[in-house]
Amino acid sequence: MLGVIPNPKKSVTIQFPFDDVKEGVKYIADMFPTYSLFKSNDTMNIYTFSATETLSVGVYIDVAIVKVSDATTQIDIEVRRKIGAFDSMHEVHHGNTHIQNVITLVSNFLGYSDAQKQVLRDKYKADMASATSFPGSTEFNCPCGQKFHADNTKKRRAICPHCNKDLSLPAPTKAPIGGCMVIIAGAIGMLSATLALALFIIYK
């Protein structure tokens, strides 16, 4: 234990246009399903990915993209724990691994052929939304006036299948506390009844 230590961070500057790098960051979760897009801010060009870890609730990976010039882009990456702070070199090592993963994934995308990039774009679009409902989906309204269905428990973005607009999705609605209490109470009642029956059989 080292006490609270700073979050792992790294900034890299690469010789690629801003829009190309931004597209690579956007597809990180599609290239590496272990990560999921938690939230994004297209205005500030900041994307946060969620990652789980063994024996841990996991981390958030913040990725910010900055245009340096027409041909140069800076990527700022910071890894932070979902609960608490980093307090051991083992945790820091995992954090640095996430940073390297992000750099590798974006680099891989930039090296893809146009055909490979298009396959990824098509997959991203197909995964993002549908005009009809599907298991686990929620209905959303697009500014174009049409409705679409998407699963916002896994992704925070969707592409409207009607106008192809890339949209941010709200976080899923949490289950009402009252409903959870009813479920818990029912489970406790069933457990009590089972124990009572078992005791009756034992002492009969």
The backbone torsions φ and ψ at residue 18, rounded to the nearest 5 degrees and listed phi first, read -55, -50
Among 22-36, 45-59, 125-139, name the one with the lowest average pLDDT: 125-139
Domain that holds residue 200: 175-204
Tell whether 80 and 15 lie within a shared domain.
yes
If you average pLDDT over every residue of the chain, what do you get?
A: 82
For residue 80, what is the domain's CATH number?
Answer: 3.30.530.50
Instruction: Give 156 or 199, the one with higher predicted confidence.
Output: 156
Shared domain for 117 and 182, answered yes or no, is no
- Give, for 130, the enclosing helix (H) or strand (E): none
Report residue 126's pLDDT band, with 50, 70 and 90 as the boundaries: confident
Q: Is the pLDDT of residue 12 over 90?
A: yes
pLDDT average, residue stretch 80-97: 89
Residue 156 φ/ψ, nearest 5 degrees = -110, 15
**Could you identify the residue written with the tokens 């990725």?**
63
Average pLDDT over residues 26-49: 91
pLDDT of 182 reads 47
Query: pLDDT tens digits for 147-194?
Result: 888 887 767 777 777 777 778 888 777 655 555 454 555 555 555 555
Count of structural domains, the chain: 2
Report the alpha-carbon distance of residue 51 to residue 98 in Å, rounded.
9
Whether residue 41 is found in the same domain as residue 122: yes
Q: Record the pTM.
A: 0.67
